[in-house]
Amino acid sequence: MPPTQIKPTFSWSQIDTILLDMDGTLLDKYFDDHFWEEYVPKIFAETNDLSDEEARKILLQRYQRVESTLQWCDLDYWSKQLDLDIPELKYKVAHLIKVHPYVTDFLQYARSINKTVCLVTNAHSKTLKIKMEKTALGSHFDRIVCAEEMGYAKEQPEFWNKLERHLGYDKTRTLLADDTEKVLRSANQYGIGFLLFVARPSSRIPVKFSREFPSITYFNELIT
């Protein structure tokens, strides 16, 4: 039986800082899923005289070896590993980059109630550049932090220690929204006060609520 929604119960008066993930949380993860699972294997197959299925199998094994590490998000790493220009390939399908419904409304709302709003992403800086150019969301954030600046992925507890020192927030009065439970567990272990799971990271998959964390489908649920 699929999990039922644990609804958020916090009050905005309890929160000073909002930390927001990018891919799957603010942006439709369909782009990333399609890019890494379909488009890159297709190009890799053409380049290496493989079938699409053979290429996909090889790449999925390589992806899994570095999952939840900075290498997984490092476009330069994958360009070298696959002998492909990964940033250039991303530009070729950038028309698929979409902002989730109600995200802009929520960002405007958060600023209107005087919260500090930070984008905190595992995405590589080159990916961030492409997506900010496409979505024009950058002006909504007080700060933008890529995990590569911290030297750790968000799944690693060390990330949160460095981030708190970098941004200077009170972790007990901070909300983190992310579509990855492993990230939320890491932040919970570190002591981030309020955690929120985004239950529909991709427009192409059904809503799936977390069994552990309060969940939302869209950010309009937080606008009061």
Instruction: Kindly list the structural domains of the chain, giving each domain's residue range(s) and its CATH number in brackets, ordered by start.
Output: 12-28+98-222 (3.40.50.1000), 31-95 (no CATH)
pLDDT band at 153 (very low <50, low <70, confident <90, very high): very high
Percent of the chain at pLDDT > 90 equals 97
Q: Both tokens of residue 83?
A: 């002998």
pTM for the whole structure = 0.95
| Listed residue (1, 32, 202) closest to 100, CA to CA | 202
Contacts of 198 (CB under 8 A, 6+ apart): 21, 24, 25, 177, 178, 179, 215, 216, 217
Q: What is the pLDDT of residue 2?
A: 83
| Mean pLDDT of all residues in 38-43 | 97
Is pLDDT above 90 for 68?
no
